[in-house]
Chain A
Amino acid sequence: MQTFESKALEQDYLKIVRFSWLLTTLLMASGPTILFSAIFELKWYFSVITYLASYLLLYGLIHWYTIHWFKAYRYSLNEAGLKIHKGVFWQQQNMVPRNRVQHVDITTGPLERRYDLGKLVVHTAGTRNATITLPGLMHQHAADLRQELINTNSSEDTV
């Protein structure tokens, strides 16, 4: 039975997350811009400046947040099962016992494929936390982990 102590996600995954935030922030920054432009009836070049400023400010905050978010995102595997810890302000830890795993998926997005990453999705028969995801693994590592979780699932489903 394979076990390992708490591991961090792949550094490349942080890049992907930041890249998608870079794009999302493009949209988010238009909010304050429209608001300020409407309130103060700004000239177009001031609007552009507001847009750039709010973009930088928002992205700066998010960039800072992702550092801590990435640092907090850790997972480990012991005899009992898979444990995932995440969250900066609201921290949570999910624990899936090995013998409760129903099935395991690996999904990859276009960006993740570029870095050869994969996202592990573990399904249990629960309701609220029935699916537990673990992103940012090397694709091969995710496949190994899936194999490990399935292999050591000793419970044959006898009803």
Chain B
Amino acid sequence: MDLKTAGYRLHNVSPLFLFIEAIKKSVLPLLIGIVGTSGDKQDFIIIAIAAFASVVTIIQFWFYHYWLEDDRLVVKEGILFKSLRQVPYERIQNVNVEKNVLHRLLNVATLQIESASGVKPEAVIRVISNDQVSYIQRIIKQRGQVPVEGVEDESALEEELDSDPSVLYQMNNQDVTTYGFISHKALVPIGIVGSILSQNDFYRAKFINFMQKFVGDLHVERWELAQWVIYSLGFSLLMLVTIWLSSIALAFLKLYQFKLSHVDKNLNAEMGLLTKITANIPVKRIQLIKIKHSPLHRYFKRVSIKMETAGGVTEQSGILMNWIAPLISRSKAQNLVSQIQPEVDWNDINWQPLEARAWKRVFKRVMFFLLLATTPLIYFYHQWGLLLLLLTPLVYIYAKAYVNKAGYAINAEIIAYRHGVMFHTLSVVKTAKIQNISYMQTPFDRRNGMARFTVDTAGSNPVVQDINVHYLDTAKVKALMGELSERVSRAKFVW
């Protein structure tokens, strides 16, 4: 292969970042695993090996080269197994930039480039100087839009960048605080720490000693009922406050000064306190838009808006950016979405209900699980186990609410589906982004003359199907499928 332009190498401080990344990926999980179980000394040998392996990863620095050709980006990497990757600019979906404190200190950044190729980013350039980042971004932006004939001069490049960025949405500190409070993001990490503490004798003893310095000896064995109640209430409150505060702190780390703006035909997002992420997503590459709200969202009269792009990168495999608006008032939400996709007529959405008799099926399904849970309770507590059945009216209310809140809408441009009683999700896919359509009928469906249908999009979550319209009459589903496949086959798919 002939490369016309000169190759670039990574920045000189790159080995440091490669090393840190390797440590993060290999040593830390091991460390947590070991602390969580035994904490024996010999386990540290494994960690030493992993640390050594991390040092070795630095070598890739000398073997990483990239070129910016006229029409594509070329990345060459690997020591024993070499790979040469060519990504045409016009196929690049997202460009994300990550800068943490260390990056900023050294004036460098990590650049991640995604195409529509499954779950891994096409290239992660770790790390290059800030100037180089903006140079690459400019090249991708300019050459990705129109098929270039010959190289255009720099002045044309500058001109295009001058178009005014219009801010679509930004978060102030109060929004971030509210988001942190609503999201309860710290619940899982705190749970993990809690379970590690309860598993590991050594650390548990240490933790209890530490706590006793503050509250003194509690003499649990002499507690009366009242004391139990007071202390457990106090403890729960303490835990709640801890979770709230740390969730808010996490939200600030991630979303501080979140700003979404419209530049040319791209969405530009910036966020983060210590680690700053800048993401660039072409608007036309949004595959799916999701509007979510939980009970707490409803209390604050807010919703969260997410999107899916064809990159399909997950939090584990790269820098993930899927926010349109982490927290936005209900009234502004529709406005924002219609600003992003002006070609869709958002007033023309005609919500269709599920079959009214579907509540019986939801009721039966939930009751089945309830009875399943009751069986061991009856075995252990005899007639007291039956108390669980007092929940039956609640199940009835839930089933009715489920059918009321769910609905679907199909028009010329989109298909939308909404569902969920407590945690409500509304997903919208443009017809042109639908990849294939399926129809499913379980034996239970058949008995009730019902079926479900789903549509598949690029870059969607393989586990959760967002458009999954269930509890509809078989005839209706068949008609819908025919209509939809007709429309999809007429609509041209553009990534």
Chain A: residues with CB nearer than 8 A to chain B?
79-81, 83, 87, 89-100, 124-130, 132, 155, 157-159
Cα–Cα, bound, A127→B465 (Å) = 10
Q: Which residues of A contact B443 (CB under 8 A)?
A: 89-90
A93 vs B453: C-alpha distance in the bound complex, in angstroms? 9
A64 to chain B, nearest CB (A): 17
Q: Is the Cβ of B457 less than 8 Å from the Cβ of A155?
A: no
Q: Give the residue name and chain of the B residue nearest to A155 (CB).
A: B492
Stretch in contact with the other chain, from B34-42, B361-369, B380-388, B432-440: B432-440
Inter-chain contact B436/A129, CB cutoff 8 Å: yes
The answer to whether A92 touches B438 (Cβ under 8 A) is yes
Interface string of B414-438 (1 = CB under 8 A from A): 0000000000000000000011111
Complex Cα–Cα for A27 and B263 (A): 62
Count contacts on B: residues with CB < 8 A to the other chain. Answer: 34
B residues apposed to A, CB below 8 Å: 90-91, 116, 310, 312, 434-443, 446, 454, 456-462, 465, 481, 485-486, 488-489, 492-495
CB distance from A131 to the nearest CB of B (A): 10
Q: Contact check, A81 vs B489: say whether CB atoms are below 8 A apart.
A: yes
B488 / chain A contacts, CB cutoff of 8 Å: 80, 97, 100
Tell me whether A127 and B461 are in contact (CB under 8 A): yes
Shortest A150–chain B CB gap in Å is 15
Assuming the contacts A127-B457, A127-B461, A128-B460, asked whether A97 and B436 have C-beta atoms less than 8 A apart, the reply is yes
A90 to B493, Cβ gap below 8 A?
no
Q: Is the CB of B457 within 8 A of A126?
A: yes
Q: B312 to chain A: which residues have CB within 8 Å?
A: 127
Q: Chain B residues near A100 (CB, 8 Å)?
A: 434-436, 488, 493
Contact of B489 among A80, A125, A128 (CB under 8 A): A80
Q: How far is the CA of A89 from the CA of B443 in the complex (A)?
A: 6
A-B residue pairs in contact (CB < 8 Å), sample of 25: A79-B489, A80-B488, A83-B485, A87-B441, A94-B437, A94-B438, A95-B439, A97-B488, A98-B489, A99-B489, A100-B434, A100-B435, A100-B493, A125-B310, A126-B435, A127-B457, A127-B460, A127-B461, A127-B462, A128-B454, A128-B462, A129-B438, A129-B456, A159-B90, A159-B495
With contacts A90-B443, A128-B462 taken as known, whether A95 is within 8 angstroms of B456 at the C-beta atoms is no
Q: Known: A125-B116, A126-B456, A127-B460. Contact between A90 and B481, CB under 8 A?
A: no
- A sample of 16 more A-B contacts (CB under 8 A), given A80-B485, A96-B436, A127-B312, is A79-B489, A80-B489, A97-B436, A97-B485, A97-B488, A100-B436, A124-B435, A125-B310, A125-B493, A127-B456, A127-B461, A128-B454, A128-B456, A129-B435, A129-B436, A157-B495
Asked if B489 contacts A127 (CB within 8 A), the reply is: no
Chain A's closest residue to B438 (CB) is: A94
Q: Which 9 A-B pairs have the closest CB atoms?
A: A126-B435, A126-B456, A80-B489, A97-B489, A93-B439, A125-B458, A80-B485, A124-B435, A91-B441
Question: Which of chain B's residues has its CB closest to A94's CB?
Answer: B438
Residues on the B chain within 8 Å of A125, using CB: 116, 310, 435, 458, 493, 495
- The CA-CA distance from A127 to B436 in the complex, in Å, is 10
Closest A residue by C-beta to B456: A126
Determine if B458 and A127 form an interchain contact, defined as CB atoms under 8 angstroms apart.
Answer: yes
State in angstroms the CA–CA spacing of A154 and B312 once bound together: 26
Tell me which residues across on chain B come within 8 A of A132, comparing CB atoms: 436
